[in-house]
């Protein structure tokens, strides 16, 4: 019996190796090696199956990791760094998770900290990547707790092509700002980046237009369709819609602000002059410690996040969602 089990294991191992080699041959026959990797921090394991971007790049998620490798079709060029960053920002917006782009080992870049490892430049870069991703992991943990986000919704694993260039080219700058907000471990900085998204969409730095946008749109948050982003917790509870959870918190905060300030105009004044200007300028500074003042802006970020998404969808042309 022992010998039989041993032979079975060896045979299975050999078969698995043969299957892997065949898949490898097929893969590299049809795709070029990956030049860039997008780390989507907070992404569930094995989330991407048979996904392509712009019908020219295949995405392969590394098992048990956040990393998405971009493999161009054989007849396509490698995406530039700028294009890859754009794709990463699109993924950030669609999954509401921070992303980080780095080169694969084959196409490494030079990097050395103050006290680096001298000639071992690849090792310096690798350490930087691991350390930066660790920062993003803690950032996601601060905001989502023990939640993990999935690419597909419930029971959907069909092949899919993401037409990101066609869908999001018009709002590329705004997605960059939104992605920057998601990477902020400090909630004051996150608030400021959401404010920048609105400014960019309105194409103005004038406070009146910014506040007019807030006044016109905060009442729409409760009924607005922000889409579905599947999130589960590590305890194995039922999956939920992340955007619905954000909406619930934003509506609760707005209820409090309406009771405190009375009108949408006064709420907009508070969000702009007290929060936005308090973070951006050095005259009246928001406290950056763990006082009560710090935690109020965390609650306000739920409102700002959704207002920023509304602004992006408006500029993108998705008015039907309102």
- Give the pLDDT confidence score for residue 122 in this predicted structure: 63
Q: How far apart, in whole angstroms, are the C-alpha atoms of residue 134 and residue 111?
A: 18
Q: What is the dihedral of CA 90, 93, 95, 99, to 10 degrees?
A: 70
- Residue 114 above 80 pLDDT? no
Phi, psi at 54, each rounded to 5°? 55, 25
- Give the pLDDT confidence score for residue 65 in this predicted structure: 80
Render pLDDT for 30-67 as a digit per residue (tens, 0 to 9): 888 888 999 999 999 878 878 999 999 999 888 768 88
Mean pLDDT value across residues 241-270: 96
- Residue 128 above 90 pLDDT? no
Confidence of residue 23 (pLDDT cuts 50, 70, 90): low
- Residue 116 above 70 pLDDT? no
Q: How far apart, in whole angstroms, are the C-alpha atoms of residue 38 and residue 85?
A: 8
- Give the pLDDT confidence score for residue 135 in this predicted structure: 92
- Give the pLDDT confidence score for residue 320 in this predicted structure: 47
Confidence of residue 292 (pLDDT cuts 50, 70, 90): confident
Mean pLDDT value across residues 141-162: 83
Q: How far apart, in whole angstroms, are the C-alpha atoms of residue 84 and residue 106?
A: 16
Q: How far apart, in whole angstroms, are the C-alpha atoms of residue 268 and residue 281?
A: 18
Render pLDDT for 198-233 as a digit per residue (tens, 0 to 9): 999 999 989 999 999 999 999 999 999 999 999 998
User: What percent of the chain is modeled with pLDDT above 70?
Assistant: 83
| Higher local confidence (pLDDT), 183 or 112 | 183
DSSP character string of 264-294 = HHHHHHIIIIIIIHHHH-SSSPPP-SSSHHH
Among 33-37, 106-110, 248-252, the range with the most confident prediction by mean pLDDT is 248-252
- Give the pLDDT confidence score for residue 46 in this predicted structure: 78
Q: Is the pTM of this model over 0.75?
A: yes
- Residue 314 above 60 pLDDT? yes
Q: Are the C-beta atoms of residues 299 and 253 closer than 8 Å to each other?
A: yes
Cα–Cα nearest to 220, from 247, 190, 181:
247
- Give the pLDDT confidence score for residue 2 in this predicted structure: 47
- How buried is 146 (Cβ within 10 angstroms: 0-12 exposed, 13-18 middle, 19+ buried)? exposed
- Residue 179 above 50 pLDDT? yes
- Residue 298 above 80 pLDDT? yes
Confidence of residue 113 (pLDDT cuts 50, 70, 90): confident
Render pLDDT for 153-168 as a digit per residue (tens, 0 to 9): 665 667 889 999 999 9
- Residue 322 above 50 pLDDT? no
- Give the pLDDT confidence score for residue 127 in this predicted structure: 78
Mean pLDDT value across residues 297-315: 97
- Give the pLDDT confidence score for residue 159 in this predicted structure: 84
User: Which strand (E) or helix (H) includes residue 298?
Assistant: helix 292-316
């Amino acid at each position: 019996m022992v010998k039989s089990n041993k032979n079975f294991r060896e045979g299975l191992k050999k078969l698995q190796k043969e299957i892997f080699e065949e898949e490898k041959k097929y893969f590299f026959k049809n795709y070029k090696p990956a030049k860039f990797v997008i780390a989507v921090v907070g992404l569930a394991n094995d989330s991407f199956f048979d996904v392509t971007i712009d019908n020219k790049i295949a995405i392969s998620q590394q098992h048990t990791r956040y990393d998405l490798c971009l493999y161009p079709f054989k007849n396509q060029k490698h995406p530039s760094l700028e294009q890859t960053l754009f794709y990463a920002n699109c993924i950030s917006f669609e999954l509401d998770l921070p992303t980080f782009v780095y080169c694969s080992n084959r196409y490494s870049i030079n990097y050395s900290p103050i006290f680096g490892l001298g000639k071992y430049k690849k090792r310096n870069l690798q350490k930087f990547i691991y350390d930066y991703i660790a920062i993003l992991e803690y950032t996601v943990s601060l905001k989502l707790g023990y939640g993990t986000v999935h690419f597909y919704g419930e029971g959907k694993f069909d092949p899919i092509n993401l037409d990101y260039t066609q869908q999001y080219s018009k709002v590329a700058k705004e997605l960059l700002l939104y992605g920057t907000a998601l990477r902020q471990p400090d909630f004051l900085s996150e608030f400021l980046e959401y404010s920048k998204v609105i400014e960019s969409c309105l194409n103005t730095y004038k406070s009146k237009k910014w506040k007019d946008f807030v006044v016109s749109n905060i009442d729409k948050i409760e009924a607005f369709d922000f889409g579905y982003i599947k999130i589960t917790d590590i305890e194995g509870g039922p999956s939920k819609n992340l955007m619905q959870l954000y909406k619930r918190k934003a509506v609760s905060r707005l209820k409090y602000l309406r009771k405190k300030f009375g009108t949408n105009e006064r709420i907009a004044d508070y969000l702009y002059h007290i929060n936005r200007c308090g973070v951006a300028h050095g005259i009246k500074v928001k406290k950056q410690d763990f006082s009560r003042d710090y935690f109020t802006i965390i609650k306000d970020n739920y409102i700002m996040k959704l207002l920023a998404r509304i602004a992006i969808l408006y500029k993108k042309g998705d008015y039907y969602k309102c």
